[in-house]
Structure 1
Amino acid sequence: MDRQQISRLAHAHHPIAAPLADESVARLLERATAGREDGRALDLGCGEGAWLVRALAARPRWHAVGVDLDARALTRARETATALGVERRIGLHHLDAREFTAKEPFDLVLCVGSTHAFGGLLPTLAAARELLAPGGRLLVGEAFWQREPSRAALDGLGSTPDEFGDLATTTGLVLADGWTPVSGHVSTERDWDDYEFAWTGSLAEWALDHPDHPDAAAAREAADRHRTEWLHGYRGTLGFVTYLLRRD
């Protein structure tokens, strides 16, 4: 079972692919689109388009573009957009986010939980800068260390101690790069637990419901492994911050 398929199944009941509750997503989107009745939003690594379709449903005069490498996730995004009646205001591109170019800049750029596509936070900020209109806003989500990671945490994440900094260090990088946080959200332990239980539970339940599927055993093994890595590894160690940023 490939990684994209695992992710699609795991996010069946938590389409926001990050440890954020629906209320926090709504608040961040409201703040990100505030002051503009009409505008253009771009999500780099949009997956199933959960951020964009919610933004469009709340803002009837906004338009959006989503970019992702997972064709099936984009199909789901189209289906969701159609169900919500916003399909005419969204364009979806099966493309590496690093290769996306636009003739016109965007009023809002999003990259929440997908900074790995650009090689980290700073390259993501650089890419967003080229796509953002003057006075526009960037919504970016990134991991950080809540405490010094143990060997179990690093092994579970396949990470290294220097891959992330703490919250102060991460925020300092953003500021030094010429961005100002105007709002944000630090995911709580409840956010994380809800997300991880949804991720592992959705994947395991799919395996239970499809015992004869060729990928059932692989799905169950992936769910069990992820649960162990979380509970016995990085729980309470890996944090997640979503910044709403503007350029100086």
Structure 2
Amino acid sequence: MDRQLISRLAHADHPIAAPLDDDSVRRLLAQGVPRGDARVLDLGCGGGEWLLRALAAHPRLTAEGVDVSEPALAHAREAANRLGVPDRLVLHHQDAARFTSPHRFDLVLCVGSTHAFGGLPAALAAAREHLAPGGRVLVGDGFWEGEPSAEAVEMLGELTDLPATLDRVVADGWTPVGGHVSTRRELDDYEWSWTGSLASWALDHPTDPDSAQALDAATTHREGWLRVYRDAFGFLCLVLRPTSQ
């Protein structure tokens, strides 16, 4: 079963592909959008949910999104049409790490997509290349909230704890001006939604050739969450400005 299809089904009831509730998303966008006529870029936009919410909140804002999943971009186009904002949204079907643009952006987002660049430092370096003077970056990535097991590290990668993550960001020339650490409720709600949405689809479509694989993916993910990384994994969003232009 295609990983992009699994992701789309798993996020059916949680369109923000990160452990954040609606209030957290709203507050982060309020911290990140510098003004009402800002130009915004999302690197790894998926279904475009961050951009769509920013467009709905700011009638003069324009946005661009980049993603490798054409079905996710098609979903974003349909949603933009329903919201009446298709003229203010441009979508690019390509690898976010290779995206170039003739202009710079007032806000660059990369939430839950740093893996597309090889990790947080590389994602921030790429975001800097797209940032207009006075602009901001809104980035979201995992960190170790507790002591991880070797299995957790193998599953989720070489993360650091919260202070070390901030130290690395600051050392790379960024100053945090806002942020959010996902709560236990946000983390659990996201995982329940991810596994539950995918499992429900499988049970609702028993004759689909992908049904058994979808149910197995949901079960495997749930077991990994509960038994391997639930007590160790945290998620951090930061609103950043370059320390020097």
TM > 0.5: yes
Q: Kindly provide the amino acid, as one letter, of the partner of residue 215 in structure 1.
A: D
Corresponding residue of 2:211: 216
C-alpha offsets along residues 111-153 of structure 1, whole Å, 9 cap, x if unaligned?
0000000001111111111100011000000110011102343
Deviation at 1:236?
A: 2.1
Corresponding residue of 1:172: 167
Is the CA contact (8 Å cut-off) linking 1:12 and 1:202 kept in structure 2?
A: yes
Corresponding residue of 1:68: 67
C-alpha offsets along residues 178-224 of structure 1, whole Å, 9 cap, x if unaligned?
10000000011100100000000000000011000000000000000
Q: Distance in 1 between matches of 2:29 and 2:99?
A: 23
Corresponding residue of 1:17: 17
SS of the residue 2:38 aligns to: strand
Is the CA contact (8 Å cut-off) linking 2:153 and 2:159 kept in structure 1?
A: no
Q: Distance in 1 between matches of 2:231 and 2:25?
A: 21
Q: Distance in 2 between matches of 1:209 and 1:49?
A: 26
SS of the residue 2:61 aligns to: strand
Q: Kindly provide the amino acid, as one letter, of the partner of residue 63 in structure 2.
A: A
Q: Distance in 2 between matches of 1:52 and 1:78?
A: 11
**If the length of structure 2 is used for normalisation, what is the TM-score?**
0.97
Deviation at 1:30?
A: 1.2
Q: Distance in 2 between matches of 1:7 and 1:37?
A: 32
Deviation at 1:159?
A: 3.7
C-alpha offsets along residues 65-97 of structure 1, whole Å, 9 cap, x if unaligned?
000000000000111111111111000010000
Is the CA contact (8 Å cut-off) linking 1:189 and 1:236 kept in structure 2?
A: no
Deviation at 1:49?
A: 0.2
Corresponding residue of 1:181: 176
Q: Distance in 2 between matches of 1:192 and 1:145?
A: 13
Corresponding residue of 1:244: 239
SS of the residue 1:38 aligns to: coil
Corresponding residue of 1:233: 228
C-alpha offsets along residues 41-67 of structure 1, whole Å, 9 cap, x if unaligned?
000000000000000000000000000
Corresponding residue of 1:50: 49
Q: Distance in 2 between matches of 1:159 and 1:246?
A: 27
Q: Distance in 2 between matches of 1:222 and 1:93?
A: 29
SS of the residue 1:37 aligns to: coil
Please give the root-mean-square deviation of Cα atoms over the aligned residues, in Å.
0.9
Residue 159 to residue 193, structure 1, CA distance change in 2 (3 Å): closer
**If the length of structure 1 is used for normalisation, what is the TM-score?**
0.96
- 4+ long deviations beyond 2 Å: 151-155
Q: Distance in 2 between matches of 1:164 and 1:230?
A: 16
Structure 1 gap ranges (5+): none
Residue 152 to residue 126, structure 1, CA distance change in 2 (3 Å): closer
| Fraction of identical pairs, as percent | 62
SS of the residue 1:124 aligns to: helix
1:7 aligns with 2:7: yes
SS of the residue 2:42 aligns to: strand
C-alpha offsets along residues 8-63 of structure 1, whole Å, 9 cap, x if unaligned?
000000011000001100011111114x1201000000000000000000000000
Q: Distance in 1 between matches of 2:83 and 2:25?
A: 17
Is the CA contact (8 Å cut-off) linking 1:154 and 1:233 kept in structure 2?
A: no
Q: Distance in 1 between matches of 2:120 and 2:153?
A: 19
